[in-house]
Structure 1
Amino acid sequence: MPDWDSPAFTAAEVARYHDAGWWSQTTLSDAVRRNAQHFPARAAYVDHPGAELTWREFDAAADTLAARLAGAGVSPGDRIAVWHGDSAAIHVLFVAIERCGAVVVGIGARAGIREVTAILAAAQAELLITDEPRQAAAADLEIHTVHIDALNAAAEIGLPGPQLGADDVFLINSTSGTTGLPKCVVHTQNRWHYFHQLAVANGQLSGDDIFLPIIPTPFGFGLWTSHTTPIHLGATAVLLDRFTAAATCAAIAEHRVSVLCCVSTQLTMMMADPASREFDLSSLRVVFTGGEALPYRPAAEFEELTGATILQFYGSNETGLLSATTLDDPLERRLRTGGRIVPEMAVRLFGGEDGDTDVTDSGRGQPACRGPATSLGYLGGADHDKLFTADGWMRMGDICEIDADGYLSVTGRTSDFILRGGKNISAAQVEDAVMTHPAIAVAAAVPMPDEVFGEKVCVFAELADAKVAGTGNLELPELVEHLLALGVSKELLPERLVVVDELPRSSGGKIAKGQLRQISGHS
């Protein structure tokens, strides 16, 4: 049996999800063909700055590339690794692989060789396709590698297919965790089709919207915002090769972007950059954000500056989502919570010494879910007992509270606490408090060892003014005085402040706290 078989969905659940309309028989490849017929001249993808690809051109390019892949020996069921930057080409490649009936092994563009090697080995990929910036690094890998341009120019062609179905595995990607080697997550198209439908309803999206997704494509958030939703809607997506606040603002202004998709750190960085005041951002209507806790102050300022509405969701690459906010939610709910629990994504809270005790009635615990947005789990059943509860609910790695109205708030990660003198201090709460200081753009709280208390609170920060960053102009006493004046709990006060030019980030765009723990002296 394939090593992605999983108890995540029973036959009855699969039938129910289809009957309810949450899952579809239509694939992304089908949607590309439909778009080519209905909107042939509409831009599908725009590389900023760079070329534009219409839906007709996208469909034709995917057909041609699928034939080249078949000519190169790609067969249904093969696993084809893709290590490629964010551009129109990667989306054509994903659809071409789908039309061959093969499975994409998605590798983040910023992944290091150690991470790439681990993913290739775990996924047992037959072929690696890469682009120019990654070609040299890929040369030392023990796998047959081909440059995307060489593949497009190949003379050999074959008959691709049959293409994948919406319930088939179409993608294996990695967790974008901050420590250790990645685990591979197994995806069907339908779990993201469900997420897509919910996003369309919550944000009132349409094919007339212009999307700007600035999260790496192979990961969950980047996948639905740059691939799944634009393709199903037949909308235009503008792509950046690499995120910077200034480039993002310039792209919004030039292309009249209406839907921005970013992690909360990127949104905070945009507000901290003067470029957000230098460009016309008034075309923005909706901003989808997630991945990390959203600091209230810069989020509220961004809404006031642009007129856009920020929508959060709570979930992961593995679970999809558990809760989400909508355009109808009030400001406080949208910016201070992860939204209401999604009814069809049944959610429980677990706790106790074994972590498998149902504590839902208490309103606080580690959430786990069952529903149409979840993945099939980790490839080969890796860490199955950590990902699933004993009775088959998929866990998140957070501690959350769910209020009487069904709104979920994250109070910290199970692995993201600072244990000071026997007291669990939420790193997320420290970060939210610290980022109320106007000089701080982004902050990350980690433990540092202490002989007396075991651990103390160490904060790494990027300053709002890039010219100031690294100069140490913000000192710890000034920050503590600011927090005390706001009435912040003393247990949340940082005991060390390290100002850096740029916080390290994982290939998934999240702050790499594992590196910061090493710098702070914490093993």
Structure 2
Amino acid sequence: MEELKPSAANSSPLTPLGFLDRAAMVYGDCPSVVYGDRVHTWSETRSRCLRVASALVAEGIRRGDVVSVVAPNVPAMYELHFAVPMSGAILNCINTRLDSRTVSVLLRHAESKLVFVDWQLRPLIVDAISLFPPTNRRPRLILISNDDYHQEEVGGDVRRVEPNTDLSTYEGMVERGDPGFRWIRPESGWSPMVLNYTSGTTTSPKGVVHCHRGLFLVTVDSLLDWAVPKQPVYLWTLPMFHSNGWGFTWGMAAVGGTNICLRKFNASTIFSHIERNGVTHMCAAPVVLNMLSSCGGGDCKTKLKSPVQIITAGSPPPAAVLHRTESLGFIVSHGYGLTETSGVVVSCAWKPQWNSLPADQRAKLKARQGVRTAGFTEVEVVDPKTGIPVNHDGLTLGEVVLRGACVMLGYFKDPTGTAKCMNRTGGWFYTGDVGVMHPDGYLEIKDRSKDVIISGGENLSSVEVESVLYTHPAVKEAAVVARPDEYWGETPCAFLSLKVEEDATGGKLPMEREIMEFCRARMPHYMVPKTIVFKDELPKTSTGKIQKYLLREEATSMGSAKMSRM
């Protein structure tokens, strides 16, 4: 068989952009994007994307140029996931919650040629570009302005905001673009398609580059792993700038789904859209699960009329939060991925025999990240120094390592950072996450490597302590960090925000000693927080993750272990 070789007929570059062409053919008259009263069909969405792609080429955008987008989950944001790479350019979605100084750094690092900016975020981008040194070329701005005026609905409040007409507009590009444009296919499946900047809590942002092939594979893999049917109704609470919505921007086109776009949301808004639009699927960070399960009054529900599938990923969700969320009628699937993998590559594949277990045990099983998805190659927990796999006993800590087609090409302009995590022992991608491997082969994340607490020589998982704290009926949010200790080296320090209402027993909100007693009854004494700090709110990153490094700094600077309220 040696004479059989790859040819043009069997080796076309893989890309998720082709999903849009198929969606227009198969689901052409079906709704693709819903935003308030606006509804587009898949035929219309494809036409709009081709028009914008052709207009970008007419603007002088060429293959390999970086085009940035700063926008919430509005229709243009969805369309640009296709339109920008269809022009041959590389899509760079920027976190809308960053400050102007950080955005300025990212735009300069990416060398963005053009920036699409939502009308509400225009001041942010203008400020960011004003910080450019005189020698830096400034990108051109395109204003995302969908109508003659904008209607913003948040909590029933509708405001009229007149657009500014001194910039080119997104809709102007749609109008002048060519609907018959032949989109520019990648030269290779390995051609870069997106540039995403991480928003880690402890390190400087890094530019992660993914190729067409990797994004195609992770998209198909995610649909398969989640068992997404044809034509689901998907609610966008996960920001599309967050790893391109974990690949479901392109995935919804593959299955002809309906994208329900939201500029802003709270728990009441989510429940309202679920009922109004018949939502079947959504992705959400653990903080959103906590929001849904803690919601009271308004449109919040005690039980959904129909089940809604949720994928949650990010920091390990406490079992108590999972249990409360599922009691409302949500079916939660827990996954694990990073910006460097674009989407979920480890999921808690559910076993039928687990259905007969008590609810608390089921929640604990779902709190584990699980096993590799069908399209991923390998996941392991290794000794970070030797690269040798640790014992699969559910106890031995090690670094989580990955190997698969959707691992990034590397960090943009950072060969040292790329080599540090990809060119180490064993040919793995080293994640920096600390975890254990259970005897059944299921992975469980225990911490980020910098969040492990070493007390009296024992490695103590802050996540395990947090999971117990979340079971207290009065606790809204919990974060545990290390506090220096002359005798033990480090001891756990818990920062808590409490629910406004009284706890479930009708008594007063708990004090420091009560929290400690609650923990002593549920964990080894060496894991019990030695310090409790109450706060109105815990500090968070722009993506909603608790900023543990700030809490660590606060714990280090404490002069007394006595309780404090802030």
TM class by shorter chain equals: 0.7 to 0.9
Specify which of 456, 465, 474 is matched with residue 510 of structure 2.
Answer: 474
2:87 aligned with 1:51:
no
Residue 350 of structure 1 corresponds to 382
- Residue matched to 1:139: 126
Counterpart mapping for 1:222-233 below 5 A: 222-225=245-248, 227-233=249-255
2:279 maps to 1:257: yes
Instruction: Compute the displacement of 1:493 (Å).
Output: 1.8
- Match in the other structure for 1:375: 408
Aligned to 1:341: 372
User: Match for 1:504: what amino acid?
Assistant: P
Q: How far apart, in 1, do the equivalents of 2:230 and 2:338 lie?
A: 26
1: distance between equivalents of 2:194 and 2:501?
Answer: 38
- What code does the residue aligned with 2:122 have? Q
Q: What's the offset of the Cα at 1:166?
A: 4.8
Distance in 2 between residues matched to 1:490 and 1:259, nearest whole Å = 41
* 1:269 Cα deviation after fit: 2.2
Relative contact order higher in (CA < 8 Å, ≥ 6 apart) = 1
Q: Percent identity?
A: 25
Q: 1:151 aligns with which of 140, 157, 169?
A: 169
Evaluate the alpha carbon distance shift between residue 45 and residue 499 of structure 1 in structure 2; reply closer, same or farther with a 3 A threshold. farther
Quote the offset at 1:452 in angstroms: 4.6
Give the 3 Å change call, closer, same or farther, for CA 341–404 of structure 1 in structure 2.
farther
Q: Residues 280-309 of structure 1: CA distance to partner in whole angstroms, max 9, x if unpaired?
A: 623334211111112112212322320x42
Q: Deviations over 1:184-217 (max 9, x none)?
A: 1111233233233333333321122111232221
Report the CA distance between 1:456 and its aligned residue.
3.1
Unaligned runs of 5+ in 2: 1-5, 133-137, 146-167, 356-361, 559-566
User: What residue in structure 2 maps to residue 418 of structure 1?
Assistant: 453
Whole-Å separation in 1 of the counterparts to 2:224 and 2:176: 44
- What are the superposed Cα offsets for residues 463-522 of structure 1, whole Å, 9 maximum, x if unpaired? 344799xxx93322121222223x312222223333334333223332222233334346
8 Å CA contact 2:387, 2:426 repeated in 1: no
Q: 1:177 is matched by which residue type in structure 2?
A: G
Letter in 2 for 1:196: T
Q: Distance in 2 between matches of 1:68 and 1:501?
A: 49
Partners in 1 of 2:183 and 2:29 — Cα distance?
27
Q: What is the alpha-carbon distance in structure 2 between the residues aligned to residue 321 and residue 38 of structure 1?
A: 27
The amino acid of 2:539's aligned partner reads P
**Corresponding residue for residue 100 of structure 2:** 113
Matched, 1:293 2:323: no
Note the residue ranges of structure 1 that are not aligned, 5 or more in a row.
1-14
> 2 CA distance for matches of 1:513 and 1:24?
45
Distance 1:156 1:50, change over 3 A: closer
Whether 1:271 aligns to 2:289 is: no
Structure-1 separation of matches of 2:421 and 2:501: 40
Equivalents in 2 of 1:467, 1:85: separation in Å? 35
CA distance in 2, matches of 1:460, 1:256: 38
The secondary structure found in structure 1 opposite 2:406 is coil
- Match for residue 180 of structure 1 among 177, 196, 203: 203
Of residues 526, 532, 547 in structure 2, which corresponds to 1:512? 547
**Pairwise CA distance, 1:428:** 0.8
User: What is the Cα deviation at residue 136 of structure 1?
Assistant: 0.9
Render the CA deviation track for 1:40-81: whole Å, top value 9, x for unaligned.
Answer: 23221223x453322122112112222222222211111111
Question: Could you say if the C-alpha distance between residues 270 and 498 of structure 1 is closer, same or farther in structure 2, counting changes exceeding 3 Å?
Answer: farther
Aligned: 1:234 with 2:260: no
Q: Which residue pairs with 2:527 in the alignment?
A: 492
Shift of 1:457: 2.1
- The question of whether the paired residues in 2 share the 8 Å contact of 1:258 and 1:286 is answered with yes
Q: 1:237 to 1:498 in 2, by over 3 A?
A: farther
- Separation (CA, whole Å) in 2 of partners of 1:327 and 1:254: 30
Alignment partner of 2:195: what SS? strand
Q: 1:24 to 1:323 in 2, by over 3 A?
A: farther
Equivalent residue, structure 1, for 2:154? none
Equivalent residues of 1:446, 1:516 under 8 A apart: yes
Residue aligned with 1:310, SS:
strand
The RMSD of aligned alpha carbons is 2.9
Task: Name the residue aligned to 1:197.
Answer: 220
Which residue matches 1:27? 15
Counterpart residue identity of residue 427, structure 1: S
2:399 equivalent to 1:366: yes
